Amino acid sequence: MAHPNGRGAAGQTAAEGLGPVVNDFTLTAATVNGSGSQSANLVLTRALFAMGIPVAPKNVFPSNIEGLPTWFNVRLSPRGYQARRAHTDILVALNAQTWQADAAGMPSGGVVIHEATLPRTGDAAREDCTFYPVPFQRLAKERVANPDLRKYLTNMIYVGVVAELLGIEDAALGSALDAQFRSKPRARSSNLEAIEMGRSYVRESLVKQDGFRVERMNGTEGELLVEGNLAAALGCLMGGCTVMAWYPITPSSSLCEHLIALADRYRTDQATGERRMATIQAEDELAAVGMTLGAAWAGARAMTSTSGPGISLMAEFVGFGYFAEVPAVIFDIQRVGPSTGLPTRTMQGDVSSAYTLSHGDTRHPVLLPGTVSECYEHARLAFDLADRFQTPVFVLSDLDLGMNLWRSRSFAYPQGPFDRGKVLSADDLECLGAPFARYADVDGDAVPWRTLPGTDHPGAGYFTRGSGHDDHARYTESSTAYRGTMERLARKFETIRRAMPAPLCLEEGSEIGLIAYGSSDAAVGEARDMLAERGIDSDYCRVRALPVHADVEGFVARHPRVYVIEQNRDGQLFSILRSELAAALGTRLRSVRYFDGDPIPADAVIEGVLAQEEAPAQAADGLLAAAAATTTTGGRG
């Protein structure tokens, strides 16, 4: 995006004039990080949610601790859309550093609530928006002596101002405050006071001049409001994870920290203090994945979580897991790469590197959750898959899905036991007859049996190594044994392919097919509605895992033009599909790429599709066109 609060696609404007706009707009609070605006934003979000209004909040924060600009966007949508909108309607401007740009970015007809001391000069002098000056600092100063607390409460005052201007109910605010300050009644009351301060300032000093307002509705019943990383942490807990090794990195850390908190709460024996889970902060990502593999080798369900730089560092060990067939669950909460990139921005940039991570011929199953509920489900599933197929399994989420709150239907309690895969106990070994052969394909599915260290049987032991080995796990440099192993691993990958979640397909015989995955789902769903409104029907296939399921090929085969929509520069899934689907289907595929670092909006999907409906992009047209293509694909809607 040009600016976190930038104007949308050319010509888009907020509700013009004074006609009422109910529950269908976006509000942005521009503040400074480290000022505690986070809790104000949460209270606002939860209050709207409590009124039954579908909300979709998104944080835009810097890779920094204090003093830099941060934006909080909350979208209200009666139809429940959760994708980012490229423009905002109501701006709460509290940050002098960005005041001019923030004001400039507003669409005509927008509303600007701003700290009164910010000057109405330059871009802020425009007359096509409604400006409500509020003396936040003065109000706070009058009541609060402590400067830190004052900075903090300023944010809560804005909640009061917004509540009064939009008509947020007291009861809803009350329950939001309850949730936010569960065990801190003192904090609750001082925050409520600040909200009241804002409310009464509006009542006493401002005259409502715009048409934006909220109304209680029935749009959130039975829903959760949860971040993907918390959902995934719960999935890990319910999936029986007992060893978690991690190294802090944004935006992965919160998954681990949520899991630690859940383990503190649910896995700790109140009497003895014993904890049925090890959570180790490793010295780096190489060690984190090593501990994960070591624990899984010894039979625990083990995981690590990281983001791009950590994935790169894990490359060697993940190849070991692949070749030696050791389970592991690895979360990658993707952020903007390459390298350190933009640590606090979102992207789907690690798809191809995770899929084939490590040197040599390697290939790994990758789960691609597209909703917070799938973050929960796929987290659980990942442990079953890792055990079942004895190989590292990736779960690729991203910053948008992982760190923002999303509305979701409730999560299902898991049915049935853990799938621990093919593990032979001492008794099994006793009944086996033949000597145990660790890497033999006895069942024809190319998945061998294993034993765990500590199994009390003289035939249980075997040797795990990343070098050449035969069916009995003996060291060998034999070409035949090597080729046999590699061919079996390729067959195993086909077994895995069949076991991975199938895509979710919505088809009504349209000419146009859309393929997307992960957090792009929200934007694609909305874009389909908008396209349909323009008379353009599209079918949709949401890929949920790699290796790609055969159904995806079927979907492509049924559509003359298929748009692969993703949030990276190089069209990573597009490339995978180009090389894995039947070659004859290659010409149907077109690539829509968005790589601004903020969550893809529906507009970008529409624009990407329409542009190529008119003039097919050159991405599929080979090398001669490649140079040109790099300037025309990608970019914002």
Partner 1 sequence: MTATATPPPAAGPRNRIGIGRETYKGLPTTLCAGCGHNSITNHLIKALYESAIPPHRLAKTSGIGCSSKAIAYFVESAHGLNAVHGRMPSITTGAKLADRELVMVGISGDGDTASIGLGQYCHLIRRNVDCTYIVEDNGVYGLTKGQFSATADIGSVQKKGQVNEFETIDICGLAVELGASFVARSFSGDGKQLVPLLRAAFAHRGTAVLDVISPCVTFNDHEGSTKSYEYVKAHDTVLQELDFIPADREIVVDYPEGTTTTVRLHDGSEMVLRKLGPEHDPSDRLAALRVVLEGRSRGELVTGLLYVDPEMADLTERERLPQVPLRDLGEAELRLSPDAFAQLLAEWA
Ligand X SMILES: Cc1ncc(C[n+]2csc(CCOP(=O)(O)OP(=O)(O)O)c2C)c(N)n1
- By CB under 6 A, the residues from 244 to 273 that bind ligand X are 247-249
Q: Is residue 8 part of the contact set for ligand X (CB under 6 A)?
A: no
Strand pairing report for 130-134 and 545-546: unpaired
CA–CA distance, 74 with 56 (Å, rounded to integer): 5
Torsional sign, CA 587, 593, 599, 605: negative
Number of residues that bind ligand X (CB under 6 A): 8
Number of residues that bind partner 1 (CB under 8 A): 93
Rounded to the nearest whole angstrom, what is the least distance from the CB of residue 250 to ligand SF4 in the complex?
13
631 binding partner (options ligand X, its own copies, partner 1, none; Cβ < 5 to 8 Å by kind):
its own copies
Residue (65 or 434) nearer to ligand SF4, CB: 65
Of the chain, the end-to-end C-alpha distance in Å amounts to 9
Residue (99 or 297) nearer to partner 1, CB: 297
In the three-class reduction of DSSP (H, G, I as helix; E, B as strand; rest coil), residue 107 is classed as: coil
Q: Stretches 288-296, 491-499, 522-530, 537-545: which one binds partner 1 (CB under 8 A)?
A: 288-296
Please name the residues in contact with 374: beta carbons below 8 A apart, sequence gap of 6 or more.
544
Q: Is residue 327 part of the contact set for its own copies (CB under 8 A)?
A: no
Q: Is residue 219 part of the contact set for its own copies (CB under 8 A)?
A: no
CA–CA distance, 456 with 205 (Å, rounded to integer): 80
Q: Which of 117, 189, 205, 410 binds partner 1 (CB under 8 A)?
A: 410
Sheet holding 538-543, edge to edge: 504-506, 538-543, 512-517, 561-566, 589-593
Buried/exposed 511-535: b ≥16 CB within 10 Å, e otherwise: ebbbbbbbbbbbbbbbbbeebeeee
Residue 296 has phi, psi (to 5 degrees) of -70, -35
Q: Which of 310, 369, 448, 599 binds ligand X (CB under 6 A)?
A: 310
CA–CA distance, 299 with 294 (Å, rounded to integer): 9
Query: What residues between 311 and 370 interact with ligand X by CB under 6 A?
Result: 313, 340
CA–CA distance, 402 with 519 (Å, rounded to integer): 9
CA–CA distance, 14 with 106 (Å, rounded to integer): 8
Residue (316 or 428) nearer to ligand X, CB: 316
Residue 533-572 contact track with ligand X, rule CB under 6 A, x = bound: ----------------------------------------
Q: Is residue 65 part of the contact set for ligand SF4 (CB under 6 A)?
A: yes
Rounded to the nearest whole angstrom, what is the least distance from the CB of residue 297 to its own copies in the complex?
14
Rounded to the nearest whole angstrom, what is the least distance from the CB of residue 252 to ligand X in the complex?
9
582 binding partner (options partner 1, ligand SF4, its own copies, none; Cβ < 5 to 8 Å by kind):
its own copies
Cβ atoms 212, 89 nearer than 8 A = yes
Buried/exposed 162-180: b ≥16 CB within 10 Å, e otherwise: bbbbbebbeebbebbbeeb
CA–CA distance, 286 with 313 (Å, rounded to integer): 6
CA–CA distance, 526 with 542 (Å, rounded to integer): 14
Residue 193-232 contact track with partner 1, rule CB under 8 A, x = bound: -----------------------------xxxxx---x--
Rounded to the nearest whole angstrom, what is the least distance from the CB of residue 283 to ligand SF4 in the complex?
19
Length of the chain counted residue by residue = 637
Q: Which of 135, 174, 421, 466 binds partner 1 (CB under 8 A)?
A: 466
Residue 324-353 contact track with partner 1, rule CB under 8 A, x = bound: x--------------xx-------------
Q: Is residue 494 part of the contact set for its own copies (CB under 8 A)?
A: yes
Which token pair is 23?
């529950």
DSSP code, position 339: T
Q: Stretches 62-70, 101-109, 564-572, 607-615: which one binds partner 1 (CB under 8 A)?
A: 62-70
Query: What residues between 400 and 429 interact with its own copies by CB under 8 A?
Result: none
| Nearest Cα to Cα of residue 402 among 264, 544, 258 | 258
Query: What residues between 486 and 515 interact with ligand SF4 by CB under 6 A?
Result: none
Residue 36-75 contact track with its own copies, rule CB under 8 A, x = bound: --------------------------xx------------
Q: Which residues pair with 268 in a beta bridge?
A: 275
Footprint on this chain of ligand SF4 (rule: CB under 6 A): 65-66
